[in-house]
Amino acid sequence: MNNHWANQELMSICLGLSDEIITDNNPGSYGSIRETFAHILKAEISFLKRIHGASPEPSFQWEEHPSLSQMMAYEKNLHEALLDTLQHVPATQNVHEAEDDWTFDYQARLIFMSVVYHGIAHRTDITTVLNNKGVSLPELDVWGYQAAYPERFQARVVKTGRDF
């Protein structure tokens, strides 16, 4: 899943950065890089809970401000749960939410789309900050994913000998 791959790639890059860069508040974005990664994962927890009522539990407490390596390991568990959900929950399955004075019914596909969109939006926050700090980044879009896993797309490049 491209979302998992992009999260893991970006977290790997950030593991090599100074704590100052990871914890610095970034005006115009969600917050620090660490806070943004935590937010991405907490949203994925929320998405799973909306469908299943539960999600994998982390080995840490959020209040203790987990390290990027702890979040990276936990993200793998979330990915497995999300992938299992995508494979076993029909996109048209009803999701029901209720509070004291409202209810909300919608199809699971809204959550599936939200996982992707939400991840892209906040990884963009992080990559913008890193670009502004001069950190070199690989392509983290679908083309970067395809380049990392060409066999998944039956992709191949054939040199024809012509100059373009």
What digits encode the pLDDT tens for the residues 113-134? Answer: 999 999 999 999 999 999 999 9
Mean pLDDT of 9-29: 93
What digits encode the pLDDT tens for the residues 71-100? Answer: 999 999 999 999 999 999 999 999 999 999
Q: What is the DSSP string of 78-118?
A: HHHHHHHHHHHS-TT-EEEEE-SS-EEEEETHHHHHHHHHH
| Phi, psi values for residue 98, rounded to 5° | -145, 140
Bridging pattern class, strands 103-107 and 94-98: antiparallel
Domains contained in the chain, CATH given: 2-153 (1.20.120.450)
Mean pLDDT of 10-32: 93
Model confidence at 163: pLDDT above 80: no
pLDDT score of 52: 95
Between CA 46 and CA 110 the distance in angstroms is 13
Query: Number of C-alpha atoms within 13 angstroms, CB side, residue 162?
Result: 3
- Other Cβ atoms less than 10 A from the Cβ of 34: the count is 19
